[in-house]
A and B are shown apart, each in its own frame.
Chain A
Amino acid sequence: MGNRTIKVETMSRVEGEGGLYIRLSGDAVDEVRLEIYEPPRLFEALLRGRPLEDTPDITARICGICPVAYQMSSVHALEAALDITVSPEIRRLRRLLYCGEWIESHGLHMHLLHAPDFLGFDSGLEMAKQFPDEVNRGLRLKKHGNQLVELLGGRAIHPINVCVGGFYRLPKRKEFQKLIPDFEWGLGAAVAATRWVAGFDYPDFETDCEFISLSHPDEYPMNEGVMKTSSGDLIDVCRYEEEFEERQVPHSTALHAIRKSTGHPYLLGPLSRVNLNREKLSPTARKLADEVGLEPLCSNPHRAIIARGLEIVHAYEEALMILRDDQPQGKSREEYQYQAGEGMSATEAPRGTLFHRYVVDEAGKIVEACIIPPTSQNQAQIEADLKQWISHVISDDEQDTARKCENLVRAYDPCISCSTHFLKVKIERC
């Protein structure tokens, strides 16, 4: 077999736009490039000089799927800079808001973006002809997530109710109560969805990577914790930029990331979170993980869809606990005084750990901003896994090879818009 190039010009069912370029020498892989060509969006520069209060609303605009993550990382980082400690009530409501985003994002990805790959369909629309009940279920889960974000965030997309110190307005108890019947149905549906995806036929493929996520002694990680790695390290979030390095590569407008101490890429996201925090999953999710046979340290990226299912179950269960028990009361936000300082925070976006760091001045203006989204951190690992995966799927049928490469990329649920910010596949045989 001669040399050839396989190129997927625009990958479908991923957030944002990018391509995939593969150059082969016979059956040997010469080069794999995730080509991210969306232009840089320059949010960090946009924030400089603006009032710090603008930050959560501006950074929320980075993504229509995970705006809550941007808001959470930004307010926590700014609160660190201003020495603000939020009340336990606000902390619980922020977790509730994050539950909404996980349900909405994971529900969409599982049912409409990723499941078609396992069932042999090119799209969710095509899949809906044979699996209408499952697609309807995915849409209902997404709707629940959107409703919860709307209740706490003021609107479902790009919420506007999150502020430094808390929320502009607290929801009313009766608004919570109205959601409970739908969320009780949703918990059962999420369990059924996880059992459904766990029954898919998974390729025999394992990645040799370091899994990293936040970890917290008392809870499944969302808004705080230390960075935990599958090699056994615990890293304080304040040392994020010391431990991880972003590098520019010629073929991508998104930066690649490696762990400095190893020189290797790493993987963030639901599979890493479940691998490293399984014992902190809610009771139903933990029991379900055992029931569906998810390995204690699962290294097959295709099985991340099961981890997403478990996280939806967790999110419904935690949300229900808060919705049933909580009586939103007290101050909606903490007051604060401006002071010069620096603060950083990492929270768990649906696709992985999202790091923010801000320097603010004594007038409350942003002096410096640093935002490191999960997809850009995962890109180098995705390329490394693709190099390994191609040897499993290479054939004379270039369309089939390209499709299987896309399948793997979708397993990571990349958000190219966030990472620039991804997909077209080109395979070149030399």
Chain B
Amino acid sequence: MIAGIGSPHGDDQVGWEIARQIQDKGSDLVCVRLARTPDDLLNWMEDFQQLMICDACQGAGDVGSFHHWEWPAQQLDAMHWSGTHNVSLPAVLALAAQLGRLPASVHIWGVEVKQAQPGQSMSDSVLAGAAAVVETICQEIAIPLKTVGTQHA
């Protein structure tokens, strides 16, 4: 499963953008879902062996740069991940691990963002970062791609 986490606001759209672009390339073997908050993942992850999470991040590098971690990774705790009610992505993954809900393989792709203002579009540097992540993920999963539907939180 590939899960994009985001919102319609500015650079915070990047998680959704990556997931949508992968969906457009599509594969019957890949389920693409869009989440508003990290805790949405708790409802979905049980059914999958592999989970790729795409999200905006802050504190990892220059704006637009992309980063990859395999869970568990200590660096994740040092960064800023937004989430409602202070439920951050690392907190959700830690809870899922505690509860035995975590897929065997969890990879996190983050694109460094700057602004998440309502009504704003993504900045060019973040869009470029999204495109780079899409290309890398598609090469990594290396499976035949078709069109499938996206499910939205």
Q: Known A15-B85, A157-B36; judge A128-B95 contact (CB<8 A).
A: yes
A371 at the interface (CB under 8 A from B): no
Which of these, B43, B94, B152, contacts A155 with CB under 8 Å? B152
Query: CB-CB contacts of A115-146 with B at 8 A, as 1s and 0s?
Result: 00000000011001100100110010011001
Residue A207 lies at the interface, judged by CB distance under 8 Å to chain B: no
* Minimum CB–CB distance for B124 against chain A, Å: 30
A12 at the interface (CB under 8 A from B): yes
| Interface of A toward B, CB cutoff 8 Å | 12-13, 15, 64, 124-125, 128-129, 132, 135-136, 139, 142-143, 146, 155-157
B90-144: which residues lie under 8 A (CB-CB) from chain A?
91, 94-95, 98-101
Known contacts A64-B84, A155-B152, A155-B153; is A132 also within 8 Å of B43 by CB?
A: no
A146 touches which one: B43, B84, B94, B99 (CB < 8 A)?
B43
Question: A125-B98, A136-B101, A146-B43 given. 18 additional CB < 8 A pairs?
Answer: A13-B85, A64-B84, A124-B95, A125-B95, A128-B95, A128-B98, A132-B98, A135-B98, A135-B99, A136-B99, A136-B100, A139-B43, A142-B43, A143-B43, A155-B152, A155-B153, A157-B36, A157-B153
Q: How far, in whole Å, are A156 and B36 apart by their CA atoms in the complex? A: 11
Contact A132/B100 with A125-B94, A155-B152, A155-B153 known, Cβ cut-off 8 Å? yes
Asked if A129 and B98 make an inter-chain contact with CB atoms under 8 angstroms apart, the answer reads yes
Closest Cβ of chain A to B22, distance in Å, is: 21
The size class of the interface chain B forms with chain A is: 10 to 19
Per-residue interface assignment for chain B, residues 32 to 52, with 1 indicating a CB less than 8 Å from any chain A CB and 0 otherwise: 000010000011000000000
User: What's the Cα separation between A192 and B98 when bound, in Å?
Assistant: 22
A139 touching B98 in the complex, CB below 8 Å, given contacts A15-B85, A156-B153, A157-B36: no
Contact A128 B99 (CB under 8 A): yes
Q: Smallest CB–CB gap between B45 and chain A, Å?
A: 11
- Give the complex CA separation of A125 and B42 in angstroms: 13
Task: Enumerate the 5 nearest inter-chain pairs by beta-carbon distance, A residue then B residue, closest first.
Answer: A128-B98, A143-B43, A125-B95, A136-B99, A132-B99
Tell me, yes or no, whether B75 is within 8 Å of chain A by CB.
Answer: no
